[in-house]
Amino acid sequence: MHKRYLTAGALLGGLGVILGAFGAHKLKEMVPPETVGTFQTGVQYQMYHAIALVFTGILYERFASGALRWAGICFGLGILLFSGSLYVLTMLKATDTVGLSRLGIITPFGGLFFIAGWLLLAVAVSRSRK
């Protein structure tokens, strides 16, 4: 399990760098500044939680537990829902697509998964006997 978290964290971190570069350069030509800010928030939280996934993978090797397993799952789901929804909202704004503005309701659920991941990480470490 730990190799999956290490691999996912590394890949999501690399993708975050690519998306951050796109947001800093090309995206500015396509959308208003507040939309660039929304996109950058998605990148920022993706990077934080990609690092959290790597950290979880390292801890899992030493303190394997169900709580750590679920922490990693929550971090992954949080990235998908939180950052993913912000990326989609930015794309919709860039293409002037209307009718899907309610997609933003997904973003807070991603945030809840992030919070759950951090809480589960704390529980796992506090319960470990090593």
Residues 6+ apart with CB under 8 A from 41: 86
Average pLDDT over the chain reads 92
- Closest by CA position to 128, among listed 76, 66, 75, 57: 66
Confidence of residue 101 (pLDDT cuts 50, 70, 90): low
Q: What is the dihedral of CA 90, 94, 99, 102, to 10 degrees?
A: 10
How far is the C-alpha of 77 from the C-alpha of 115, rounded, in Å?
11
Convert the pLDDT of each residue in 30-83 to its tens digit.
888 888 999 999 999 999 999 999 999 999 988 889 999 999 999 999 999 999
Residue 99 DSSP code: S
* The pLDDT of residue 60: 92
What are the φ/ψ torsions at residue 73 (nearest 5 degrees)? -60, -45
Residue 2 confidence (pLDDT) above 90: no
Instruction: Count up the domains in the chain and report the number.
Output: 1
Residue 100 confidence (pLDDT) above 70: no
Q: Which domain holds residue 46?
A: 2-127
Residue 126 confidence (pLDDT) above 70: yes
